[in-house]
């Protein structure tokens, strides 16, 4: 069992080492969306961005940002 796990980890390491710059830039693009707070004159807002940094939406609550992300089948990730 330990040997299988080690083989799996070695395989993943090899894939990551051989990843092209373009593949690395697109990593997570269709799986995750980042949520980060942004300041505004009317109070805090929450930006939802694709993995490549492209803005997807700006919402007035964190909860709405999470729900928006989930509604488009992306995994929400917060930035601190």
Instruction: State pLDDT tens for residues 5-56.
Output: 888 898 989 988 898 888 877 777 789 999 999 999 999 999 999 988 899 9
Whether residue 56 contacts residue 48, with contact meaning beta carbons closer than 8 Å, is answered with yes
Tens of pLDDT, residues 63-75: 999 999 999 999 9
Q: Tell me, what's the pLDDT at 75? A: 93
Question: Can you give the pLDDT at residue 35?
Answer: 96
pLDDT of residue 16: 85
pLDDT at 26: 73
* Run of H or E including 23: helix 21-25
């Amino acid at each position: 069992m330990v040997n299988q796990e080690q083989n799996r980890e070695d395989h993943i390491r090899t894939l990551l080492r051989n990843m092209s710059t373009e593949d690395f830039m697109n990593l997570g693009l269709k799986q995750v969306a980042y949520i980060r707070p942004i300041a505004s004159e009317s109070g805090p807002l929450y930006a939802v961005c694709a993995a490549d940094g492209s803005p997807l939406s700006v919402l007035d609550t964190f909860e709405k940002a999470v729900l928006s992300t989930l509604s488009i089948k992306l995994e929400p990730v917060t930035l601190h």
